[in-house]
Amino acid sequence: MRKLIPLLSLALASAAFAQKFDGLAATPPMGWNTWNTFACDISEALIKETAEAMIASGMRDAGYVYVVLDDCWMVKERDPDGDLVGDPAKFPSGMKALGDFLHGKGLKFGIYNCAGTKTCAGYPGGRGHEYQDARLYASWGVDYLKYDWCSTGTANAQETYKTMRDALHAAGRPIIFSMCEWGTAEPWKWAADVAHLWRTTGDIIDCYDCITGWSTGWKVILDKQVELAKYAGPDHWNDPDMMEVGNEGLTFAESRAHFSLWCMLAAPLIAGNDVRKMTSEIRALLTNREAIAIDQDPLGKQGTRFYIGGGREIWTKELSNGEWAVCMLNTGDAPADLAIEWERMHYFMRGQYSVSDIWKGAAAGDTKKPLTVRLDSHDVVLLRLKPLK
Ligand code: GAL
């Protein structure tokens, strides 16, 4: 028994570490990530200019606080101590200084690595270095880690991501853990106590519904979220990937629909455009408080597709205080007059509601009469419903 006691306390101690940091993502994380627009072409100047633009545009104050360096921030080899090294040509002041800069601006510092031996772009991965890397990230002031799944061979996703979760917890700095396993091992079924968010699909690109190998447009990703709503909630979100809002391959309507539907999904809102150069329309879209409030609603329910047919989809999302969000998408190639017949929703909504149109910023009647709206191809109407007294 005497011999068993130290073993038992060791087991208890490691069990105490085997957890993620709770409460870091009570609502879906919001921020910006380098990958969608800049891929490997990243630098300290880009991050600093972007941070300033996030402040000047009102993005930071609207909630976009995580500034995430994706792949390609490192040099190709670890140093003699086995530590990762930020590329001094890209980040001459070093990673700690970059974290300090972001914190000084009221922003948070996010970084990327990969669970395999190499990142997807061929930089050193985290496999076998989890605890060492977690301590390094903590020492740099990292607040968010995106962890990819390239070069993992036959590794088991659940075990591998748990190792990194435990390493982050042991390092002691609260860091949001964002799994990027592409949905291959159905993380929604097991990752609620492993990560704060997990990718559900392959990569997004800036088109409506194109498919280019591993990468697809946002509509293709949207279709894959239909069955996943029940797995999401505070501190454990489905991640349908970073946004392409404002990027070249989308019309304004498609950007607006993409943003609206990501809000309906309670998706992490990680912008992926060049915020230094965005138009005032895109700025207004990304910073719209009413739309963001749908995404960030404290009830933390992911929206579901209520209806599909007749060239439209209608999505609904339950909000706190008995309110609802409703979003109708014109899936056709031409403008159309499309209707929402409220009475069809009465089996899950209770009573009657007033309706406000978020993109018009105006009242849109109530649910006593069907609502018909003219929508451009791939555009949406985004509505908030409040119970009528
Ligand atoms: C992919 C990931 C992308 C991006 C890229 C970097 O696996 O899904 O979001 O991080 O790697 O190489």
Mutate to test the pocket of ligand 1, among 42, 148, 179 (most ligand atoms within 8 A of CB): 148
- Determine the residue type at 212: T
Q: How would you list the strands of the sheet with 66-68, edge to edge?
A: 237-239, 197-199, 176-179, 144-148, 108-114, 66-68, 30-33, 269-271
Q: What is the pLDDT of residue 228?
A: 98
Q: Does the Cβ of 148 fall within 6 Å of ligand 1? A: yes
Residue 14 confidence (pLDDT) above 90: no
Q: What is the pLDDT of residue 346?
A: 86
pLDDT band at 350 (very low <50, low <70, confident <90, very high): confident
- In the chain, residues under CATH classification 3.20.20.70 are 23-295
Q: Does the Cβ of 123 fall within 6 Å of ligand 1? A: no
Residue 12 confidence (pLDDT) above 70: no
Strand-strand pairing, 353-357 and 362-366: antiparallel
CA atoms within 13 A on the CB side of 200: 24
Looking at ligand 1, which atom is closest to the CA of residue 182?
A: 8
Q: Whose CA is nearest to atom 6 of ligand 1?
A: 71
Is the separation of the CB atoms in 127 and 161 below 8 Å?
no
Residue 199 confidence (pLDDT) above 90: yes
Helical segments of 18-147, H only: 35-38, 44-56, 59-62, 95-104, 130-140
Give the tens place of pLDDT for each residue, 312-333. Answer: 999 999 999 999 999 999 999 9
Q: For residue 155, how many other CB atoms are within 10 A of its CB? A: 16
Residue 11 confidence (pLDDT) above 70: no
> Quick one: 105 exposed, middle or buried, by C-beta within 10 A (0-12, 13-18, 19+)?
middle
Instruction: Tell me, in angstroms, the distance from the centre of ligand 1 to residue 120's CA.
Output: 6
pLDDT band at 3 (very low <50, low <70, confident <90, very high): low
Q: Tell me if the domain spanning 23-295 has CATH number 3.20.20.70.
A: yes
Mean pLDDT throughout 100-112?
A: 99
- In the chain, residues under CATH classification 2.60.40.1180 are 304-387
Q: 30 has which bridge partners?
A: 269
Mutate to test the pocket of ligand 1, among 37, 72, 180 (most ligand atoms within 8 A of CB): 180
Q: What is the pLDDT of residue 349?
A: 84
pLDDT band at 2 (very low <50, low <70, confident <90, very high): low
Looking at ligand 1, which atom is closest to the CA of residue 242?
A: 9
Mean pLDDT over the full length of the chain:
95
Give the tens place of pLDDT for each residue, 263-272. Answer: 999 999 999 9
Mean pLDDT throughout 215-226?
A: 98
Distance CA(130)–CA(147), nearest Å, equals 11
Q: What is the pLDDT of residue 19?
A: 86
The SS3 call for residue 19 is coil
Higher-scoring residue by pLDDT: 13, 233: 233
Q: Tell me if the domain spanning 304-387 has CATH number 2.60.40.1180.
A: yes
Residue 31 confidence (pLDDT) above 90: yes
Q: Which of 148, 166, 235, 379 is catalytic?
A: 148
Instruction: Tell me, in angstroms, the distance from the centre of ligand 1 to residue 367's CA.
Output: 43
pLDDT band at 232 (very low <50, low <70, confident <90, very high): very high
Mean pLDDT throughout 70-90?
A: 98
Residue 354 confidence (pLDDT) above 60: yes
pLDDT band at 7 (very low <50, low <70, confident <90, very high): low
- Determine the residue type at 80: P
Whether 337 is a known active-site residue: answer no
Distance CA(316)–CA(293), nearest Å, equals 15
Closest of 203, 286, 216 to residue 252, by C-alpha: 286
Q: What is the pLDDT of residue 16?
A: 52
Whether 379 is a known active-site residue: answer no
pTM: 0.95
Mean pLDDT throughout 7-28?
A: 72
CA distances from 283 to 225, 261, 361 (A): 26, 17, 16
Give the tens place of pLDDT for each residue, 120-137. Answer: 999 999 999 999 999 999
| % of the chain surpassing 90 pLDDT | 93
Q: What is the pLDDT of residue 4?
A: 53
Is the separation of the CB atoms in 113 and 119 below 8 Å?
yes
Residue 5 confidence (pLDDT) above 80: no
